[in-house]
A and B are shown apart, each in its own frame.
Chain A
Amino acid sequence: GAVVSQHPSRVICKSGTSVKIECRSLDFQATTMFWYRQFPKKSLMLMATSNEGSKATYEQGVEKDKFLINHASLTLSTLTVTSAHPEDSSFYICSALPVASNEKLFFGSGTQLSVL
C-alpha cells in the first residue's frame, strides 16, 4: 500500500524557535496534502490544505504566518511552526491524496511536538 513518511516523529524545542516537519509520499504523487493537529484525547483538527505549486488554504482560526506550509513537489510538503510556544505543543499529522485515486487518504505516522 501507499506510504506517507513523516519526519521527525518526535521533537522537543525551546520556546521561540522554529520547527520544520516533513511529509513525503514515498511511492505515489500527491497534488494535495492535508495537515492536521491533535491534542491529547481529542480528535484530529484540520489545519490547512496544501496544493502543489500554490499557496496553502488555512482553516478558520489557524494563523498562516505561524504555520508555514510549503508544497514544492508532488511528493513533499513541509509544515514549519514558527516562533513556537508551549501552547503549540501537539501531535501534528500529515496526509496525502494520491493523484491516481481520490478514494483513500494516506496518513503519516505523526510528529509529537513539545515546546519547552
Chain B
Amino acid sequence: DAKTTQPPSMDCAEGRAANLPCNHSTISGNEYVYWYRQIHSQGPQYIIHGLKNNETNEMASLIITEDRKSSTLILPHATLRDTAVYYCIVRVAGGGSNYKLTFGKGTLLTVNP
C-alpha cells in the first residue's frame, strides 16, 4: 500500500471547518483513500473513503485532487467531540484478509472552544 504523509497536529476553532491534508504521491490507480479517526483511549472509527471522486457523508467530505496525489478531509463544523487523531490510509480494494489497514502516525486534531 502507498505511504501517506500527514501533519502531526492541527488546531481548529469550534464551529469552524477543519481541513486535514494528506499526501499520497505514490498512490496506485486501484488504491482507495480511507480516513479513520481515534478518540483518546477508544478504537478507531471509520469516517469516509474514496477512489477519485469527491465524497460526502454525514460526518465529513473527502476532496481528492485530480492527480490523486493528495486529499483533504473536511469536517464542516468541528465540535469539541471531534478532537481525535485522524488517520489517512491508502489501500487496495478488496475484502477478507486483504483488508489490512496500516496506520501511520496520523494528525492530532484539537478543536478549541
- Asked whether A and B interact, the reply is yes
| Alpha-carbon gap, A91 to B39, bound state (A) | 13
| Alpha-carbon gap, A32 to B94, bound state (A) | 12
Contact between A104 and B97, CB atoms less than 8 A apart? no
| Alpha-carbon gap, A94 to B99, bound state (A) | 14
Which applies to chain A's interface (DSSP): helix, strand, loop or mixed?
strand
Q: Which B residues between 14 and 44 are near A, CB-CB below 8 angstroms?
A: 36, 38, 41-44
Contact between B100 and A49, CB atoms less than 8 A apart? yes
Q: Which A residues between 61 and 116 are near B, CB-CB below 8 angstroms?
A: 91, 93-95, 97, 101-110, 112
Q: Which residues of B contact A109 (CB under 8 A)?
A: 42-43
Number of interface residues of A (CB under 8 A): 29
Q: Which B residues between 48 and 77 are near A, CB-CB below 8 angstroms?
A: 49
Most-contacted residue by chain A among B87, B100, B102 (CB, 10 A): B100
Contact between A107 and B99, CB atoms less than 8 A apart? no
Q: Which residues of B contact A97 (CB under 8 A)?
A: 95-96, 99
Given the interface pairs A93-B44, A106-B46, A108-B43, the reply to whether A32 lies near B97 with Cβ below 8 Å is yes
Q: Which residues of A contact B101 (CB under 8 A)?
A: 34, 44, 46, 95, 105
Contact between A46 and B100, CB atoms less than 8 A apart? yes
Contact between A91 and B95, CB atoms less than 8 A apart? no
Most-contacted residue by chain A among B38, B87, B105, B106 (CB, 10 A): B38
Question: What is the minimal beta-carbon distance from B103 to any residue of chain A, in angstroms?
Answer: 4
Q: Which residues of B contact A110 (CB under 8 A)?
A: 41-43
B9 at the interface (CB under 8 A from A): no
| Alpha-carbon gap, A44 to B92, bound state (A) | 19
Q: List 19 A-B contacts (CB under 8 A).
A: A32-B96, A32-B99, A36-B103, A43-B87, A43-B105, A44-B101, A46-B101, A46-B102, A57-B97, A91-B41, A95-B44, A95-B101, A97-B95, A97-B96, A102-B94, A104-B46, A105-B36, A107-B44, A110-B43
Give B contacts to A, CB under 8 Å. 36, 38, 41-46, 49, 87, 93-97, 99-106
